[in-house]
Chains A and B, each alone.
Chain A
């Protein structure tokens, strides 16, 4: 067992963990942060994305001992009451379907708008390509991210009339 202490969503935590314990399982099972989702366990689907010291990493390929002394952010810690611009845009643009991959997309989108306040559509696709979604075909997610960023643009109406 190894003693680790780090901060999760701003709160300090401390555990004794086996060196083989994965961050995804610590967050899910010991802290109840189930927005960190298992989708493949091998770094292909990106659904377990979390921000460690502000940088996106995959919790399924990160040992818990490795985040000793770090600051970990999950979607649960993103907004205590008021939603962020990214979260609001996801709701408004119909970017949410089954919702399983949504937290990972939100974190990558937050990371994008912080790193590049006025992203191009190519930036959006590059930053999001590491999260797989099977429902939305990504298009409304692109709209949401562009809307939440400084590059917000008008939406096309499809309502009949």
Chain B
């Protein structure tokens, strides 16, 4: 379908928050202050696995600090993430605990008039330990029957359950006849994969400000991707009605999944605030932030059967998920891992075993892609290997087998299914092939010399949200309010958060497109839980697809009301269907008009008339559930150069293709792909939090000196990074749009490492691929000077 005719969409427009951001005027949570505010500090366990006998707070209290211990907190377990329905939510976390299960777990907290005083008070708290265990850092060791139990009893929904062999959750699935499938295969490949434990490294460390209001109400400002789920959790934990908890949306300095859950400091600040009766702010230091969240570690075992013609006959997928010390809803991740796997290619027969295992590490949570970058790296590595073994072009084998238009798609897990309607995969694969000069890439064995270049491809996708026609195990709906102000401008209210990707600008442009109102007259109003309908969370790349469609529906309802009002004013028009709305260039105003006649009235006049004649406010409030979660497909072609002597690898060229349906803002599409590639580069080559085996401390003292993300010198100059946008239209999305945030990264690691293979003929199955691993492989083949 043609994109021509859009007035605002598919064009570059400066984002609304760009100017305040370049002026440094945007206030993030830690920038907020409140008169009489106390500063909170968290007291953390010095052991990774221990039981505390006693917490002595007397000295801290003498210093004038407000102190809380587990005794001050209702001791009911919770799960900080509220995206899955309650029956499949496992609860093992306490706000403060006598049984710390990772080094740095909060055991007490203090609040005082200054950070310095709070720091001294926190240090004055004495912990006496009953028992200290050796930390269990390996999930296979954790599952052995002799391993001590990290948790004994946890809750599933509202029932207590026993934890056996440190297994936190399981999910098995089978389709077709796997044995028969493998017996029909001409070629079977089996591989194991392991990822690093990556840390989000969003630039803004988590923070919260909790303010007690008169009448027992609390106002909470915090770094969150879901103001509503934060409110619900606080309400449940502290037994306060939701009507007395207001969570305010504050600009957030990146997140990447690290605040889908309510971060641990929020209930701690609430408890301090309730005890002190004063506003309390807690802002994590960077090292504390690293103790609050990082990714899961994935251990995959994958077996794939293929026929000589390149079609697949069966697949078997085992997924051992190292979840760390507490569950931040890893159960749905067992489902999405499978979803990413089955929605890549038509396996025909499938068996899946997913096991989530506790270890004494920082609790794992989503990190951009929720398992998709990991699964797609593994699958795209193996598909490359199979293509080579069968003598089929890697692009052909992908085109032959991928799950595309007309197929059933269930990226978000077995209970979230829909049919694919838009598909830019062939376009992106074929155009990219030309641009990267694929046919000239050569074979690894032909490449000689110290510096060797290679080109790799990988494709993948992410869902746009987690909606579907049937209500499954995942909550996914949103809501918004759009109102016409008395001068014809608009206020738009949504609980959705903009992590930086420009989601809310997309909403503004969608409203602008629907109503012909310029974006600068559409106000992104200050939003909080008490003035917005529920939204589950800005995650799953759903902001544009779900939130944008909700905004469009609100605009459509408002348009109808505007027409009805115009009919009332204009008199001569028969009914609202005769009217159109649009932006009149000559007038410089939004007008309502009758096509083919000179009858028109400005929106400003309509708004003013409704106000002056006491007709009331024109307003639309919408709650919206998407009935599909369509895939946004992405394709990466990457060229790398390997220094075979040092093992260092650098990017040479990238062609990044995205099928986002209608690109609401092409600048932001580019920006997501640039950022996604950089994050993938870090995942491939450097990012991992390593744990000291004796203490369970993150090595490098939790300072980011030893957690390396790519810098400006590690990425490509603009002329070497080519972006392709597929010409597609998603019928279920707003003006044909789909999501992108996660798809922008998902297949990139696979493409990068396939390029490394093309350069030096070595496959790597464990991330990150550090120079020592590269050199080790090349030395074994005698390709290094020593």
Give A residues with C-beta under 8 Å from B: 28, 33-35, 37-42, 44-45, 47, 74-76, 78-79, 83, 87, 90-94, 96-103, 106, 121, 124-126, 128-143, 146, 156, 158-161
Q: What's the nearest-Cβ distance from chain A to residue B89, in Å?
A: 29
Nearest B residue to A108 by beta-carbon distance?
B712
- When distances are taken between beta carbons in the complex, the residues of chain B under 8 Å from A47 are 203
A137, B18: Cβ atoms closer than 8 Å: no
Give the distance in Å from the alpha carbon of A74 to the alpha carbon of B23 in the complex: 10
Label chain B's interface by main secondary structure.
loop
Number of interface residues of B (CB under 8 A): 72
Min CB gap A137→B, angstroms: 3
Q: Is B30 an interface residue (CB 8 A)?
A: yes
Extra 10 A-B pairs, beta carbons < 8 Å, given A42-B286, A159-B11: A38-B205, A44-B703, A96-B15, A98-B252, A99-B251, A134-B200, A136-B675, A137-B671, A137-B673, A138-B678
- 12 chain-A/chain-B pairs, Cβ below 8 angstroms: A34-B28, A83-B23, A91-B14, A94-B668, A96-B21, A97-B500, A98-B253, A138-B678, A138-B715, A140-B674, A158-B725, A159-B663
- Chain B residues whose C-beta falls within 8 Å of the C-beta of A83 in the assembled complex: 19, 22-23
A137–B715 CB distance below 8 A: yes
B191-210: which have CB < 8 Å to A? 200-205
Which residues from A are CB-within-8-Å of B254? 97-98, 100, 134-135
Docked CA distance A124–B24 (Å): 21
A28 to chain B, nearest CB (A): 7
* A-B contact number at CB 8 A: 200
Evaluate contact between A41 and B286: CB separation under 8 angstroms.
yes
Chain A interface main SS type: loop
Judge whether B23 and A87 touch: CB under 8 Å.
yes
Whether, in the assembled complex, B474 has its beta carbon less than 8 Å from a beta carbon of chain A, the answer is no
B663 contacts A140, C-beta separation under 8 Å: no
Contact A137 B203 (CB under 8 A): no
Q: CA separation between A91 and B12, bound complex, in Å?
A: 11
Q: Which residues of A contact B556 (CB under 8 A)?
A: none
- Considering the chains assembled together, what is the distance between the CA atoms of A143 and B670 in angstroms? 12
| Cβ contacts under 8 Å, A87 to chain B | 19, 22-23
Residue of A nearest to B502 (CB): A97
Verify A100–B28 contact, CB threshold 8 A. yes
Decide yes or no: A42 and B500 within 8 Å by CB, A94-B667, A96-B15, A135-B254 being known contacts. Answer: no
Q: Which one of A125, A131, A138, A156 has the greatest number of beta carbons of chain B within 10 Å?
A: A138
How far apart sit A131 and B705, CA to CA, in the bound complex (Å)?
Answer: 14
Interface status of B679 (Cβ within 8 A of chain A) = yes
Task: With CB as the reference atom, state the residue of chain B lying closest to A93.
Answer: B667
Q: Give the CA-CA distance A139 to B651 in the complex, in Å.
A: 13
Chain B residues packing against A (C-beta within 8 Å): 3, 10-12, 14-15, 17-28, 30-31, 200-205, 251-254, 256, 283, 285-286, 499-502, 663, 666-671, 673-679, 703-705, 709-713, 715-719, 721-727
Residues of A within 8 A of B22 (CB): 75, 83, 87, 90-91, 96, 102-103, 106
Whole-angstrom CA separation of A158 from B670 in the bound complex: 8
What residues of chain B lie closer than 8 Å to A41, measured between beta carbons? Answer: 285-286
User: How far, in Å, is B539 (CB) from chain A's closest CB?
Assistant: 15
Partner of B14, one of A37, A74, A75, A92: A92
CA–CA, A37 and B204, complex, Å: 8
- Asked if A35 meets B25 with Cβ closer than 8 Å, knowing A92-B14, A96-B15, A131-B712, the reply is yes
Minimum C-beta distance from A26 to chain B (A): 13
Docked complex Cα distance between A158 and B251 (Å): 28
4 nearest interchain CB pairs? A35-B24, A98-B500, A100-B253, A94-B667
Taking the nearest CB of chain A, how far is it from the CB of B672, in angstroms? Answer: 9
| Minimum C-beta distance from B425 to chain A (A) | 16
* CB atoms of B703 and A158 under 8 A apart: no
Q: Are B24 and A76 in contact (CB under 8 A)?
A: yes
